[in-house]
């Protein structure tokens, strides 16, 4: 007893009980929205239990009529037995249909809500997690919570009612029989108690392994071209086999534990059943009960043992649910992006942005959470109808600057604002509505070119799509494709070249008609002449757009209004002489 007390005291000090309480509150925050469904599910289960008890009574009477221990109408009792059986089947089917409908409804809503919260999580914090891990948590853990919301509490109520009602019937007919029927309960409770810690650890290990396997598969299939190019296929097959071996060993370990538990529980169940048989035969031989009553008692003994086992299993089920909740909370507890000023930002744009919007960074300093310092007192300004170039060696912060402008990350000091008609508005996730962004690499989705274009503006006409494809120097190759803008792209833009995909990405960004256009090495796969024409088209466009381009190619500088260089943690505007010197070097 003293050791158990020390164990629980240690767990309390470690904060496990407090942690489980937080996880339970998290699950409740979803469950409270579905209390009506839970009540209906519970009522169906309780009705099924009542019908099952009636079936026991009818079976008893039928056996007693046949054996002559009771007088009655055999045909009426037999018809009643059929009616009860049909009612039981109807309730089972109705419950199954209702469970399927509600589970999918709840699961979809919970997963949609968690998906939104995951997407709204701070980018830098979320990027610490592997995509495969996030997918596993969203798919598996969300489903575990959805299933638990619908079934856990109702099943506890239903099984408790089963136990109480069955025990009541036994006590009312022959109290001595209850002693044998309840023999297995203490053993079940002791075994369930010992399984709790193992169950919790197994759940965590299983979910971690699922995340690891999902991450491996996701990375392998996403980078299959790289695997082929470096002849890494055999290496990755071997890695997969090793992961599968680890997963199999873990599953076999869990299976052995489950088999041992099931075997012991089966022994207990057999012991209880044979004890009940023996005592029932003895009571019938004494003349204390009839054959029908003994038959009913044997059924009730099974009900009692089953309901107790179900109640005992409710504890590890609760641990499974709270473990899944904890894994989701680990991500959802991270800082969330603030979109509370969407309307305020939109009002700013409507009021002051009629001549376009610019950007101004003043005395910006930033370092990543890992401590890497990127900027110190950096400054930058970009205005409508300008193309601003950001140049500098790799690793000096060009992409980080883009992330700052998009408010994916926040500077530790300094000011970052939108500018419009001599007014300013602080950069935040709420102002992304004024940005279009084209990163380096292929960002096309599977589907037609028109589908890809309409992702940013669903109601755009085919004519407008073609106009923007022309501006991005993409129409010349698109019109030659089978179906033109209705040509189907494969996953990640498969079926066209990198340069063609980049031009489509630029066209999509132009279609959005955002005041600010960010091109992060977005013309790197284009030849210099095509790149020059694309930038020239953007400058000639009447729309008051501010464009910022990161590039390694110095030939782009001729098309730019101003040039900033990122070097030695500074962002400095270059003079015309400095720009000319860089052009001459190239």
User: Tell me, what's the pLDDT at 21?
Assistant: 81
The answer to whether 355 and 49 have CB atoms below 8 angstroms apart is: no
For 62-127, give the secondary structure using H, E and C: HHHHHCCCCCCCHHHHHHHHHHHHHHHHHHHHHHHHHHHHHHHHHHHHHHHHHHHHHHCECHHHHC
Please give the Cα distance from 354 to 337 (Å, whole number).
27
Q: For each of the domains in the chain, give its residue range(s) and CATH number, in order of start.
A: 16-332 (1.20.1560.10), 342-585 (3.40.50.300)
The answer to whether 440 and 522 have CB atoms below 8 angstroms apart is: yes
User: Tell me, what's the pLDDT at 235?
Assistant: 79
Q: How many beta carbons lie within 10 A of that of residue 374, not counting itself?
A: 22
Please give the Cα distance from 538 to 15 (Å, whole number).
58
Dihedral through CA 523, CA 524, CA 527, CA 528, nearest 10?
70
> Low-confidence residues of the chain, pLDDT below 70?
1-17, 68-72, 180-201, 203-204, 222-223, 225-232, 261-262, 265-266, 268-270, 272-273, 370-371, 493, 585-586
Strand-pair category, 570-573 with 562-567: antiparallel
Tell me the three state secondary structure of residue 572. strand
For 489-527, give the secondary structure using H, E and C: ECHHHCCCCHHHHHHHHHHHHHHCCCCEEEEECCCCCCC
The CA angle 508-511-513, to the nearest 5 degrees, is: 125
Please give the Cα distance from 399 to 438 (Å, whole number).
11
User: Tell me, what's the pLDDT at 554?
Assistant: 79
Q: How many beta carbons lie within 10 A of that of residue 392, not counting itself?
A: 20
Dihedral sign (CA 163, 169, 170, 175): positive
Q: How many beta carbons lie within 10 A of that of residue 495, not counting itself?
A: 14
Helix 291-332, helix 16-31: angle, nearest 10: 100
| DSSP state at residue 138 | I
User: Tell me, what's the pLDDT at 183?
Assistant: 65
């Amino acid at each position: 007893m003293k050791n158990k007390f020390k164990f629980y005291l240690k767990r309390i000090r470690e904060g496990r009980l407090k942690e489980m309480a937080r996880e339970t509150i998290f699950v409740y925050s979803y469950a409270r929205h579905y209390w009506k469904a839970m009540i209906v599910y519970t009522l169906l289960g309780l009705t099924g239990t009542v019908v099952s008890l009636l079936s026991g009574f009818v079976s008893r009477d039928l056996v007693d009529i046949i054996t002559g221990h009771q007088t009655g109408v055999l045909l009426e009792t037999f018809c009643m037995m059929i009616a009860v059986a049909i009612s039981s089947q109807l309730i089972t089917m109705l419950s199954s249909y209702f469970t399927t409908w509600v589970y999918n409804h709840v699961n979809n809503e919970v997963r949609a809500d968690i998906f939104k919260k995951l997407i709204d999580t701070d980018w830098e914090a979320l990027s610490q997690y592997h995509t495969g891990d996030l997918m596993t948590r969203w798919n598996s853990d969300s489903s575990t919570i959805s299933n638990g919301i619908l079934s856990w509490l109702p099943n506890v109520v239903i099984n408790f009612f089963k136990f109480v009602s069955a025990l009541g019937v036994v006590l009312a007919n022959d109290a001595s029989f209850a002693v044998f029927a309840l023999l297995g309960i203490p053993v079940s409770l002791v075994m369930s108690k010992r399984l709790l810690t193992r169950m919790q650890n197994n759940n965590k290990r299983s979910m971690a392994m699922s995340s690891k396997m999902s991450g491996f598969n996701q990375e392998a299939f996403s980078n299959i071209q790289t695997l082929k190019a470096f002849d890494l296929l055999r290496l990755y097959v071997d890695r997969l086999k090793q992961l599968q071996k680890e997963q199999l060993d873990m599953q076999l370990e869990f299976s052995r534990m489950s088999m041992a538990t099931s075997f012991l529980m089966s022994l207990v169940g057999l012991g209880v059943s044979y004890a009940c048989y023996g005592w029932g035969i003895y009571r019938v031989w004494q003349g204390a009960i009839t054959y029908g009553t003994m038959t009913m008692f044997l059924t009730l003994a099974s009900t009692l043992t089953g309901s107790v086992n179900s109640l005992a299993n409710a504890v590890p089920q609760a641990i499974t649910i709270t473990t899944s909740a904890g894994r989701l909370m680990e991500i959802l507890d991270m800082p969330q992006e603030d979109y509370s000023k969407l309307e305020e930002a939109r009002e700013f744009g409507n009021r002051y942005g009629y001549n376009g919007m610019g950007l101004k960074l003043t005395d910006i300093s930033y370092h990543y959470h890992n401590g890497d310092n990127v900027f110190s007192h950096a400054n930058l300004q970009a205005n409508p109808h300008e193309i601003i170039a950001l140049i500098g060696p790799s690793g000096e912060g060009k992409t980080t600057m883009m992330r700052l402008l998009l408010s994916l990350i926040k500077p530790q000091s300094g000011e970052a604002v939108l500018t419009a008609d001599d007014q300013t508005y602080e950069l935040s996730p709420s102002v992304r509505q004024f940005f279009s962004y084209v990163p380096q690499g292929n960002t096309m989705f599977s589907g037609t070119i028109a589908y890809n274009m309409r992702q940013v503006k669903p109601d755009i006409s085919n004519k407008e799509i073609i106009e923007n494809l022309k501006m991005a120097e993409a129409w010349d190759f698109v019109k030659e494709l089978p179906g033109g803008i209705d040509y189907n792209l494969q996953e990640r833009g498969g079926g066209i070249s990198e340069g063609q995909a980049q031009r489509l990405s630029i066209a999509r960004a132009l279609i959005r008609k955002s005041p600010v256009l960010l091109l992060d090495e977005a013309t790197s796969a284009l030849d210099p002449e095509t790149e020059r024409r694309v930038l020239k088209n953007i400058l000639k466009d009447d729309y008051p757009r501010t464009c910022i381009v990161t590039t390694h190619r110095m030939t782009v500088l001729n098309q730019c209004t101003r040039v900033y260089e990122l070097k030695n943690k500074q962002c400095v505007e270059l003079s015309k002489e400095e720009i000319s010197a860089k052009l001459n070097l190239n």
